[in-house]
Amino acid sequence: MPEKSKADRVKETIRLLKELERIGYSDAVLGYSEIKAVLTQWVNDGEKVYVEIAIPKFNRLAKVSLPKMDDKAASILLKVVE
């Protein structure tokens, strides 16, 4: 299986950020800039990433999964923290 191209990583990053913005996340939300930084690093180096980032304002834990290979899509799962 081939590695994801930089163009594919950019498309997936834009899709993820637009979805986060659609549900109310912005630079004003603690943790959002950290997510953006992880996505930017992934776009640039293409290395596989899995990280959990707290989003206290929404009582969520963002589980960011960014694959190296082309057979999986990038995802951010927002898990409720109780």
Strands ordered across the beta sheet of 75-80: 49-55, 60-66, 75-80
Helical residues (DSSP H) of the chain, grouped into ranges? 6-22, 32-45
Query: pLDDT at position 82, please?
Result: 84
82 residues of the chain, pLDDT tens digit each: 899 999 999 999 999 999 999 999 999 999 999 999 999 999 999 999 999 999 999 999 999 999 999 999 999 999 999 8
pTM of the model: 0.94
Query: pLDDT at position 9, please?
Result: 98
